[in-house]
């Protein structure tokens, strides 16, 4: 049996954002599972009812051309068909139609990576919110400091009246 654990970077490099969704392509999943892309797609087609549009979709021509343009021709391997893209739920569903030990262990690893990515995004969002609150506080402080300086400027502009009686002892 092949080593079931792939370096996380190997898997992360295969995750694309298409249609605002994180997906893995059929060819990359097949490679990770140690099977041919053709066999993966056959298993999916035999169980098509398990893969609704939010689990899997086929790239349209524009997406396919955009993706091909990101790769040199040699690394793309000359694939002429538009690939299928699997969302996190679709990848989870693949474990029910591809029964190899390698596919199951790779799916577990992918699910853990998706969970880590979600946690990092949440942490990132929390940090952004804290930064936003700090910016608002700084903005309020800036306004208060400007107000203090304007009051100081007004006080500096006030000149003593010339016709005032002096205060104190008379000589």
pLDDT digit string, tens, across residues 90-100: 988 888 888 78
pLDDT single digits (tens) 40-77: 999 999 999 999 999 999 999 898 888 877 765 445 45
Cβ-based neighbours of 59, under 8 Å, separated by 6 or more: 18, 67, 82, 83, 84, 85
CA 57/CA 48 separation, integer angstroms: 11
d(CA 161, CA 171): 22
pLDDT > 70: what percent of the chain? 85
How does residue 137 score in pLDDT terms, banded at 50, 70 and 90?
confident
> Sign of the C-alpha dihedral, residues 151, 157, 160, 163?
negative
What residue spans of the chain are helical by DSSP H?
8-12, 26-33, 37-46, 61-69, 73-76, 88-94, 101-157
Q: Does domain 8-121 have CATH number 3.10.450?
A: no
Put simply, whether the predicted model's pTM sits higher than 0.95 gets the answer no
């Amino acid at each position: 049996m092949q080593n079931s654990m792939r370096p996380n970077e190997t898997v992360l490099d295969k995750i694309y954002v298409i249609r605002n969704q994180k997906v893995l392509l059929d060819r990359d999943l097949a490679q990770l599972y140690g099977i041919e892309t053709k066999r993966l797609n056959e298993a999916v087609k035999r169980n098509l009812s398990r893969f609704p549009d939010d689990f899997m979709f086929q790239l349209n021509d524009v997406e396919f051309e955009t993706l091909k343009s990101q790769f040199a021709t040699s690394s793309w391997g000359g694939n002429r068909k538009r690939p299928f893209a699997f969302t996190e739920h679709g990848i989870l569903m693949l474990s029910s139609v591809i029964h190899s030990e390698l596919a199951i262990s790779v799916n577990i690893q992918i699910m853990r990576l998706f969970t880590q990515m979600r946690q990092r995004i949440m942490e990132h969002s929390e940090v952004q919110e804290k930064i936003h609150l700090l910016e608002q506080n700084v903005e309020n402080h800036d306004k208060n400091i400007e107000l203090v300086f304007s009051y100081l400027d007004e006080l500096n502009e006030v000149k003593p009246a010339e016709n005032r009686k002096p205060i104190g002892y008379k000589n």
